[in-house]
A = this chain, B = another copy of it.
Amino acid sequence: MEANIESKFKAAVSVDNVVFGFDNNDLKVLLIYRGAEPYKDCWALPGDLISLDQDLEQSAENVLQNLTGLDNIYMDQIHTFGRVDRHPFGRVFTVAYFALIKIQDYMVKPSSWAEEAAWFPINEVPELPFDHMEILEYAKDLLKNKIRHQPIGFELLPKYFTLTEIQSLYEAILETQFDTRNFRKKLLSMNLIVDTGRQQKEVAHRPAKLYKYITKRYAQLQQIGFSFDL
Taking beta carbons and an 8 Å cutoff, which residues of A are in contact with B? 1-5, 7-13, 37-38, 49-57, 77, 79-84, 89-93, 95
Write the chain B residue with the least CB distance to A81. B56
Contact A4 B80 (CB under 8 A): no
Contact A1 B37 (CB under 8 A): yes
A83: chain B residues within 8 A (beta carbon):
55-56
In the assembled complex, the Cα of A13 lies from the Cα of B51 at a distance in Å of 14
Q: Which of B10, B53, B56, B90 contacts A80 (CB 8 A)?
A: B56
A7: chain B residues within 8 A (beta carbon):
10
Q: Which of B11, B79, B89 contacts A13 (CB 8 A)?
A: B11
A-B pairs with lowest CB-CB distance, top 6: A56-B82, A10-B10, A9-B12, A80-B80, A9-B49, A5-B12
Contact B89 A3 (CB under 8 A): yes
Contact A11 B52 (CB under 8 A): yes
Contact A3 B84 (CB under 8 A): no
Q: Which of B2, B8, B51, B90 contacts A51 (CB 8 A)?
A: B8
Contacts A11-B13, A13-B11, A80-B77; A90 near B4 (Cβ below 8 A): yes
A53: chain B residues within 8 A (beta carbon):
84
8 chain-A/chain-B pairs, Cβ below 8 angstroms: A4-B89, A5-B12, A5-B90, A8-B52, A10-B11, A56-B81, A56-B82, A56-B83
A78 to chain B, nearest CB (A): 10
Write the chain B residue with the least CB distance to A80. B80
Contacts A12-B5, A12-B11, A13-B13; A55 near B82 (Cβ below 8 A): yes
A44 to chain B, nearest CB (A): 17
In the assembled complex, the Cα of A13 lies from the Cα of B91 at a distance in Å of 11
A13: chain B residues within 8 A (beta carbon):
9, 11, 13, 82, 93
In the assembled complex, the Cα of A81 lies from the Cα of B77 at a distance in Å of 10
Contact B91 A37 (CB under 8 A): no
In the assembled complex, the Cα of A91 lies from the Cα of B53 at a distance in Å of 9
A178 to chain B, nearest CB (A): 15
In the assembled complex, the Cα of A37 lies from the Cα of B38 at a distance in Å of 38
Write the chain B residue with the least CB distance to A1. B37
In the assembled complex, the Cα of A56 lies from the Cα of B52 at a distance in Å of 20
